[in-house]
Structures are given as structure tokens and as C-alpha cells.
Amino acid sequence: MAAKKKSTPSARQYWLFKSEPESYSIVDLAKEPTKTTFWDGVRNYQARNLLRDTIRLGDRVLFYHSNADPMAIVGTAEVVKTGYPDHTAFDPQDHHYDPKSKPDEPTWFMVDVRLLQVFPKLVTRDELKACVDLRDMMVIRQGARLSIQPVTAAEWQAVHRLAGVKDKS
DNA sequence: GCCAACGTTGGC
DNA sequence: GCCAACGTTGGC
């Protein structure tokens, strides 16, 4: 039996969250009084599993504007609350209402994120494609529709380099 | 359990 | 507006 291992702090993980700026943009996040929001409306099981089981406090998030002009990574955020039931699924008036999800047995989950920084110069999809270190990002790959995606530490850093800012994390 | 039909996402 | 790539649904 080996000696008891020191508990090593788990490495921070990085993610990319997609949002259509017409429904919620990074400007909206910056306008929140606490610069914090709950990331609701994810209705995909793979993304749900990440939100519920994998994403941890302090993880970092690239904020991506999809279906936008231009499509781009526009800033960063920090996970400040881990997965909990997405209450918008319980509300029949809500666009993301899902009768299958019940408060006592929720199907859908969300996390809270707080703004870290709005990039002074956004990193467009075209720039990502043109960057050797970023062209293989999941968000660039054809048909990658997952709205919550893992990002490597190297990609996180390369995005900051393209944005011309220091990694504040 | 298979798979065709359908709906959605999201880049182009 | 188009359509590829998925994911979901429902008949069998």
C-alpha cells in the first residue's frame, strides 16, 4: 500500500458556452448588477451532463456569440455556482418549457457564471479558423452543435493571445 | 431495437 | 434562404 497521497487540487477546466447574442449577449451579462447570470435553456443531454456533473466551481468559460455578425469569442466568465435544476423548464410560459422536467425530478440543469472580462477585441470565427492552435476547436468543427464544449488550457491561452489580453484567470 | 421522418442548430 | 449535421420521435 502506497503512502497516502496528498490531495492535489483538481486542475481548473475550461469551457466554451454558446449564446445567440439576440437572446443573451456578453453585453447583457456585463449589465447584470452582479455581472452574474444563470445559464438556462440548455436542452441537450450531453450538455446537460456537463452542466450537472462535470463543470466545477472556478472553471473558466469562453463566451461565444453564435448566429451573430460577427460570430466570435467575445469574452470570458467564471463558474460561480455548479449545476442545479433549470427552473425555466418548469414554467409553461417560458420558451424553454419542458413538461418532462419536474421540480422533484428535474431533467435540465444550469450553472451560474460571472463575467471575467469583455475582450477589447473580439476573436472572430475566421480568426479561430486561421489560427493553427485553434482551428481544431470543437466550435470550429463542422456540425459541432454542442452548446457547452470543453476547451483545452492551450486553447484558452491562445484565445487570449489573439484577443490581445492577459489571461486574468 | 431499427430506422425513416421530422425538428433544430447554426454556419454559410 | 439553404442545408448539413445532428438529436428526437414514433411506427413497426
pLDDT (tens digit, 9 = 90+) per residue, A109-134? Answer: 999 999 999 999 999 999 999 999 99
Asked whether residue A23's C-beta has any atom of DNA/RNA strand C within 7 A, the reply is: no
Q: Which nucleotide shows the minimum CA-to-C1' distance to residue A125? A: B11
Domains, chain A, ordered by start: 14-163 (3.10.590.10)
Which residues of chain A between 102 and 131 are close to nucleic strand B, CB under 7 A?
Answer: 125
**Those residues with Cβ within 8 angstroms of residue A138's Cβ, 6 or more apart along the chain or in another chain:** A16, A144, A146, A149, A150, A151
Query: Which pTM value belongs to this model?
Result: 0.91
* pLDDT exceeds 60 at position A146: yes
